[in-house]
Copies of this chain bind each other. A is one copy, B any other.
Amino acid sequence: MKFSLKQMPERTQPPRTYGLNMVMDKGMGTADVQNFLSVAKPYTDIVKLGFGTPYVSGNLNEKLNIYRENNIPVYFGGTLFEAFLVRDQLDDYINGAKEYGITYVEVSDGSVSIPHTDKCKIIERLVKEGFTVLSEVGSKDASHVMAPYKWIEQMTAELSAGSSYVIAEAREAGNIGIYRGTGEVREGLVDEILTKIPQEKIIWEAPQKAQQLYFIQLLGCNANLGNIAPNEVIPLEAMRIGLRSDTFDLYRDK
């Protein structure tokens, strides 16, 4: 680096436990994965293979190998987990994940209705089996609006059950869960969650630029952000550290 700027915010360094980027791979070819990591590896903390895409893309083993060689943990999107769960095939899912060498797993109930105690039992079981568990809170059903105290209750219980992080649902489009249909943040909900749950334990799905900006302004450059598109990792990193016009004034006096 021939460039060095003064007065820059302090980003956490990899391997990170917060300040995370969770990136969504929704079916990239392996050459694209290689190319993406060649530039974005230092800012790619966790990769999610979105919804059912690992089930249909033919290059899964090869792709998992590339991520493994780069020491980047990968997990399958919650929709695939739920597709197994709802068919009473949870054991098949767990065995499959192990065969693929997956060590991170998402437990979610965005498309299925299960008692929350059952969800927590699954989390406990997966932790016992050696998985790092990310659990997602929030429905993918727009008509299902959950009160803030419910979000807090569920997040608390899931962290107690052993989840390493709780993920605040937004879908790939960023129009559900912690967002309104327009993509606008439910600010009151976010504020209330943050009174009870440590921000380091929450990954905010934030696929849209305005959503990423919101959390950076609220929580600083080390907000945990998820559902980042691969080609947006570098632009997001620039925004995190004040090198995009939106955050230019965030870390310094005018």
A interface with B by C-beta (< 8 Å): 1-7, 26-32, 34-36, 38-43, 50-59, 79-80, 82-84, 86-87, 89, 92-93, 95-96, 99-100, 110-113, 140, 171, 173, 209, 231, 233-235, 237-239, 241-245, 248-249, 252, 254
Contacts and interface: CB of A to CB of B under 8 A. Distances in A.
A233 B39 contact: no
B2 A241 contact: no
Given A2-B99, A56-B241, A56-B243, 15 more contacts: A2-B100, A3-B54, A3-B84, A27-B39, A27-B233, A27-B235, A29-B35, A29-B38, A50-B235, A51-B243, A51-B244, A53-B243, A79-B245, A80-B243, A111-B245
A38 B59 CA distance: 8
B5 A89 contact: yes
A42 B238 CA distance: 30
Contacts of A99: 2
Contact of A110 (B35, B50, B209, B245): B245
A74 to B, nearest CB: 14
A31 B35 contact: yes
Contacts of A42: 58
A141 to B, nearest CB: 8
Contacts of A52: 238-239, 241-244
10 contacts: A28-B39, A51-B244, A52-B243, A53-B235, A53-B238, A56-B234, A56-B237, A79-B248, A110-B245, A113-B254
